[in-house]
Homo-oligomer: A and B are copies of this chain.
Amino acid sequence: MPLKVYLSGEIHTDWREQIMEGAKTLDVIFTSPVTDHDASDDCGVAILGAEPNKFWHDNKGARVNAIRTRHGIQTADIVVVRFGDKYKQWNAAFDAGMAAGLGKSLIVLSPPEHQHALKEIHAAALAVAEKPGQVVEILRYVLTGELP
């Protein structure tokens, strides 16, 4: 039975592609949020109608996106949350908290300069990695027992 891994976090770099490429021979099903930034922001109003008020514009889209992200987290065996060096990324931290609340195994992928700010989330994680390749190595080890 494949391992189900949800990849949460910033959608501005190709970190997911790096992991999925590195894991292509492993028995893993990857899920993630929609990574097209404009589609993600506008999905609510694009489908359900415009909102002149930015708060409600964003709210409509966030709730539609939640259908996908909550399904991803709830069905995951492992949740990987990536923190990059830019952006507030509060939604990533929120996903990490939701995963922890649901008892999911959590892997955090973050750069060292964020260590102190991420200490609580690191403490909740079963692994803290700095590079996507390490996440692949963890998945390979978990599935096959092989180490790099």
Contact = CB atoms under 8 A, between A and B. Distances in A.
A36 B77 CA distance: 23
A81 B96 CA distance: 15
A26 interface: no
B89 A90 contact: yes
Copies in the complex: 8
| Range of interface residues on A (Cβ < 8 Å) | 35 or more
Contacts of A127: 44, 47-48, 60, 63-64, 67
A126 B63 contact: yes
Nearest to A88: B117
Contacts of A105: 66-67, 70-71
A78 B67 contact: yes
Closest 8 CB pairs of A and B: A97-B97, A101-B101, A93-B93, A62-B123, A94-B97, A58-B119, A91-B120, A97-B98
Interface of A: 1, 3, 29, 34-36, 39, 42-44, 46-48, 53-56, 58-71, 75, 77-78, 83, 87-103, 105, 107, 114-129, 134, 137-138, 141-142, 145-148
10 contacts: A1-B75, A48-B129, A55-B122, A56-B56, A62-B122, A64-B141, A67-B138, A70-B105, A71-B77, A92-B93
